[in-house]
Structure 1
């Protein structure tokens, strides 16, 4: 197994082009595998290698991995983590581990918030600016992260910031509200917008990420979670304790009967002034934070609107240099409807070759005989899987 090879021999072997990476040390464990640091001996650059185990144990797991590596290939931005390479296994038919080579970052934002008590107001501004730039880029491509939290934001010692872990992200090719067909557990609970818990069928999917960014911003300011939720009712109490009782119009738009009834019967609460909740904070920062944490998703700004806030006035030149995104093609994500682990493994192998060089993939496809092609029809879509 590649993990054992890595630990015992200090190099990655058995995968194409793997001997260029020399093992340095263990970094940590993620949700689906371990992360190690290594040296790229061709460039003398330090990298992070994520070893994903049992990738093809079931279809949802395999699709999540394929979704992330495909999105990271398509979304090239200075504030989104970059895949340097994906190590190609010797055989395309039976591999169950995937080794992804990322650029190496120093910390995640969770560590920075908990360990660094010397962050200045300007540091706060720069961190938020970069997170919003990443979201603006993603949202313009109709991609929604849906799992923003401090653990999924990487930071270097110079405060260069990059969003990572796009496995739960969704692309909206049809109407934006299509993302709401996915279950509400996709966002970690302390950063979960009220509407993602089933409170309403929002037509503003970007607002889920904006709420999460607001929670992260508050955590940067106070160094503790703003809404450490234990249940939907607990979350509603925490949110209304700070923001006050939602308006009658907002409550009437809630589709969750239990939540609507609970809010209607709740005692009237007045909002807490943010200057009281977050003392000694920049007034412009609190102005922006209040917009990000609007209870009603339609009242939250887009990432672009947030970046135009006066809070970021000093960074206007940096914003003008931001990358422009392009819409992602439907056929790139036809695999989302795939029901076969075998087919997803084949498509993952294709993606590995694509990451190295598109010509490698074209050469491989031209040399491999196609057993059969299965076509799935859906209005506006044709799904083709090579088995």
Structure 2
């Protein structure tokens, strides 16, 4: 996942240790022996051996049988649980996010649909990639959504909080890669509303990848309008040891009026990033993202079907024995 310029010589972190896969038992109802060291995560084959159920701290994690044990929880949030697992068909380790009861709230369901469509549209080294949408065992019992992403090693928040020092070259490299991804996102007519260190994932070469894309909305505008006025802080006084060129770029990127704010293209060409900037290796999205699905109210069943179709796009040979969807629902 290295894009653009090479990272500084001392940016490499230790590679993530590979996880060994255990073969599933012949008996579909037999419990898969837990992997060494993770004996609290039992796994059981289900639905005739087509799926595997993992019990992760009392939460059922049910994925297609190609995601062999062991499985490792790596994160948890309001949306659900994230686990790393091995796709035995591709040999790739992925991060699988479970969104439990994904259709109970229409706003959350639409957010999930939006994320899937957005990331499927994007194809860039600095934007996290979806590897799979895991279809449900039965179409008419479709409540939880499982999304498999490329597995990254850490995030910028963890790097900043660690004892690992960051040189000027590190900062330039991180900023360049972030802007490189942002240029691609903007060229698709999409704004990233939540750029923060914890949403900037890094691989073993410290190449940042942007995750958790979102959209600005009227609530965000109202929030901004109600904020009290604050006196502008002097970056030079606050960060006296930072290079003046870096201060200049940050000032231009944080200009409140978007009409006067520096564009991502001009930010990439700023003198602070001279040593990394290469316009021939800063691609754009050739097709703007379509927001057509946002233009009408969707029922719960329609959102289920749209996400189910996205799952089938990743799994064209998947055969759900019971699909109760009525095509007339979209008419």
User: Could you state the TM-score of these two structures normalised by the residue count of structure 2?
Assistant: 0.75
In the TM superposition, what is the alpha-carbon distance from 1:85 to its structure 2 partner? 1.0
> 2:27 aligns to what?
none
Which of these residues, 217, 225, 232, is aligned with residue 227 of structure 2? 232
Residues 27 and 36 in structure 1, CA contact (< 8 A), matched pair in contact too? yes
2:26 maps to: none
Q: Check if 1:9 corresponds to 2:56.
A: no
Where do 1:1-387 residues align within 5 Å? 7-9=41-43, 13=52, 17-166=64-213, 169-170=214-215, 180=217, 182-184=218-220, 197-199=223-225, 232-233=227-228, 236-237=229-230, 240-242=231-233, 272=234, 274-317=235-278, 319-328=279-288, 330=290, 333-335=292-294, 337-357=296-316, 371=326, 373=328, 385=330
**Higher RCO (Cα < 8 Å, 6 or more apart):** 2
Q: What is the distance in 2 between the residues matched to 1:336 and 1:108?
A: 34
- C-alpha separation between the residues in 1 aligned to 2:265 and 2:254? 16
Aligned structure 1 segments of 4 or more residues deviating by more than 4 angstroms: 14-17, 367-370
Residues 73, 355 of structure 1: 8 Å contact kept:
no
Deviation at 1:329, TM superposition (A): 5.5
SS of corresponding position for 1:301: coil
The worse-fitting range, judged by mean Cα deviation, of 63-72 and 144-153 is 144-153
- Give the drift of 1:157: 3.4
- 1:204-248 Cα offsets, whole Å, 9 max, x none, are xxxxxxxxxxxxxxxxxxxxxxxxxxx822xx32xx241xxxxxx
SS of 1:100's equivalent in the other structure is: strand
* Higher helix residue share: 1
Alpha-carbon distance in 1 for matches of 2:205, 2:154: 11
CA distance in 2, matches of 1:69, 1:110: 24
Structure 2 portions without partners, runs of 5+: 1-31, 35-40, 46-50, 54-61
Distance 1:20 1:302 in 2: 42
Structure that is richer in strand per residue: 2
Asked if the contact 1:49/1:100 (under 8 Å) is kept, the reply is yes
**Unaligned residue ranges in structure 1 (runs of 5+):** 171-178, 185-194, 200-230, 243-271, 375-384
Structure 1's 123 and 283: CA in aligned 2 closer, same or farther, altered over 3 A?
same
Shift in CA distance, 37/320, structure 1 to aligned 2, threshold 3 Å: same
- Aligned equivalents of 2:94, 2:172: Cα separation in 1: 28
- SS of 1:77 mapped into structure 2: coil
Q: Which residue of 1 aligns with 2:38?
A: none
- SS of equivalent residue, structure 1 residue 316: coil
| Partner secondary structure for residue 148 of structure 2 | strand
- In 1, distance between residues paired with 2:255 and 2:209? 25
- The SS at the match of 1:351 is helix
What is the root-mean-square deviation in Å for CA atoms of aligned residues?
2.9
Rounded to whole Å, the distance in 1 between the matches of 2:69 and 2:288 is: 35
- Tell me how many residue pairs correspond in the alignment: 280
